[in-house]
């Protein structure tokens, strides 16, 4: 939200300046003469100072647009006063007309050398006096207003950067500020790399904590992750709850877009330790993220209307990136075959899996990337071997397949026979494909339901007959976590 104090930083509209004359002369008759000359000029304000020692103070107060100053005064030499005016910040650039009783070339030259703008022998005709006042004031007012406009533009520029830099990456902000066509509706086809991240089990966390804490957890996560995205020159296209959509190559195509996307994803996973340390310091639970990456041709550009514009990427390959990410569990970076081919850097790939995502006509192969070499030199820690402990008595579970927004399809029986902190071995009544998302209802073995909101993904098939699988939990509600801890104790 943009606050009122922030909008005030843009400044106010420029107020037109009036012509303001300041006359300094020790003879009152001269003051009356000039006042009479300007009496009918409604757009000119006149101020008279008889004491030259007070001239600087009065000038600071009335902000003249032209100064008329006598050269011969008893309290101070006129040329010395001229020096004071030019040394004073408020009057340094104000046009100054020197008044003298006679024409002297040497005096005129010295006055001009000290910064005078004009020289008048007291007094020419009224018409000429008014013309000189208007001429010098007009130039000075134009200078003032030009500077004020530039100041306002500078404030507006920094305001836009400060405000929209929170929502857009520097590349998008630069495009808006530097190109007259930056906000033109329309798009173009371009090959980009799309990275989508998502926090695993965050729905359960959001149900357990107050809204303020949920937002704080997301902010801790985003604060760390967005810095990494910008480091690798990614453009954040959208922040959707606990998910980040990043595009590499949307505005500026680079040869290493795919490589930077993979390196960015790996560094984001490495920095989850810092995110979780900050969460623990505030009493929040640890979180984990899954990241999916795909490369392909999409439409990029400004979509919307004259009142509401969004810089976006649209197309089949955005959907593929989303599907790739959906197969991850916490701590993984999955990439598509397109991204694998686009990367010229050496990648460390643990395994590959062929999947048939919903809504697609052909299967796709996804790769579990654990590292990238060459100039990036980023590697995830070696995955620890997890020991599953056999339960004395298998625990009955009911299994439902998750598809899209459906809460669960089918009602299949099974038994949880082995358990670790985030993994379980399950003997089921039917076979499931690898990386299938499941919702589990867990009983305590005595007919008491522990939870109906335990979520898991099939990460390994141990046997087809009978069907036995390794499940990796993607969301463990509090009641299930407490129950598992007691079992493992």
Q: What is the pLDDT of residue 338?
A: 96
Q: pLDDT tens-digit profile of 272-301?
A: 999 999 999 999 988 999 999 999 999 887
Residue 132 lies in a domain: yes
pLDDT value of position 346 = 93
Per-residue pLDDT tens over the stretch 59-96: 999 999 999 999 888 888 889 999 999 999 999 999 99
Percent of the chain surpassing pLDDT 70: 89
The pLDDT-based confidence of 158 (bands split at 50, 70, 90) is confident
Whole-angstrom distance, CA of residue 466 vs CA of residue 332: 29
> Among residues 331, 356, 379, which one ends one of the domains?
379
Residues 226 and 338 placed together within one structural domain of the fold:
yes
Question: Is 48 exposed, middle or buried (CB count within 10 Å of its CB: 0-12, 13-18, 19+)?
Answer: middle
pLDDT in tens, 170-192: 666 666 666 655 555 567 889 99
Domain count for the chain: 3
* pLDDT value at 156 more than 90: no
Same-domain check for residues 347 and 418:
no
**Domain's final residue, options 109, 126, 147:** 147
Is pLDDT above 80 for 307?
A: no
Write down the pLDDT at residue 250: 81
Q: Is residue 166 part of a domain?
A: no
Say if 78 falls within a structural domain.
yes
Query: How many other CB atoms sit within 10 Å of the CB of residue 373?
Result: 12
- Which of 379, 410, 425 is the last residue before a domain boundary? 379
Looking up residue 85, the CATH number of its domain turns out to be 3.40.50.2300
The confidence band for 167, taking pLDDT boundaries of 50, 70 and 90, is: low
Q: Structural domain of residue 366, as residue ranges?
A: 177-379
């Amino acid at each position: 939200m943009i606050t009122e104090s922030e909008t005030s930083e843009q400044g106010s509209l420029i107020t037109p300046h009036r012509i303001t004359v300041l006359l300094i002369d020790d003879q009152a008759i001269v003051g009356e003469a000039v006042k009479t000359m300007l009496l009918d000029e409604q757009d000119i304000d006149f101020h008279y100072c008889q004491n030259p020692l007070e001239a600087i103070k009065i000038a600071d107060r009335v902000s003249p647009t032209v100064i008329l100053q006598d050269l011969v005064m008893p309290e101070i030499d006129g040329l010395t006063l001229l020096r004071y005016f030019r040394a004073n910040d408020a009057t340094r650039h104000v046009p100054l007309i020197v008044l003298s009783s006679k024409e002297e070339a040497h005096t005129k030259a010295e006055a001009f050398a000290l910064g005078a703008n004009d020289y008048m022998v007291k007094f020419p005709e009224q018409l000429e006096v008014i013309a000189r006042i208007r001429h010098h004031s007009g130039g000075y007012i134009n200078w003032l207003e030009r500077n004020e406009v530039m100041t306002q533009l500078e404030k507006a520029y920094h305001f836009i950067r400060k405000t929209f830099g929170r929502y857009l990456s520097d590349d998008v902000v630069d495009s808006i500020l530097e190109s007259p066509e930056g906000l033109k509706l329309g798009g173009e086809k371009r090959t980009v790399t799309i990275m989508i991240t998502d926090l695993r089990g965050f729905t359960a966390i959001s149900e357990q904590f107050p809204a303020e804490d949920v937002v704080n957890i997301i902010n801790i996560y985003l604060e760390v992750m967005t810095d990494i995205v910008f480091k690798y020159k990614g453009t954040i296209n959208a922040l959707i709850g606990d998910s980040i959509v990043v595009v590499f190559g949307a505005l500026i195509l680079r040869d290493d877009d795919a490589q930077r996307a993979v390196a960015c994803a790996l560094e984001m996973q490495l920095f989850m330790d810092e995110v979780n340390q900050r969460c623990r310091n505030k009493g929040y639970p640890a979180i984990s993220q899954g990241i999916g990456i795909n490369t392909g041709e999409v439409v990029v550009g400004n979509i919307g209307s004259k009142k509401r514009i969004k810089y976006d990427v649209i197309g089949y390959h955005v959907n593929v990136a989303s599907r790739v990410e959906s197969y991850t569990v916490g701590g993984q970076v999955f990439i598509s075959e397109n991204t694998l081919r686009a990367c010229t850097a050496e990648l460390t790939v643990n395994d590959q899996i062929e999947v048939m995502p919903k809504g697609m006509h052909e299967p796709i192969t996804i790769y579990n990337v654990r590292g990238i070499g060459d100039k990036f030199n980023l590697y995830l820690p070696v995955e620890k071997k997890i020991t599953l402990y056999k339960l004395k008595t298998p625990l009955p579970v009911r299994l439902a397949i998750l598809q899209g927004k459906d809460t669960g399809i089918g009602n299949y029986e099974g038994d949880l026979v082995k358990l670790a902190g985030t993994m379980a071995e399950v003997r089921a009544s039917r076979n499931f494909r690898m990386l299938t998302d499941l919702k589990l209802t867990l009983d305590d073995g005595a007919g008491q339901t522990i939870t109906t909101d335990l979520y898991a993904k099939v990460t390994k098939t141990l046997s087809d007959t009978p069907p036995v699988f390794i499940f990796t939990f993607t969301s463990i509600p509090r009641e299930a976590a407490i129950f598992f801890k007691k079992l493992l104790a």
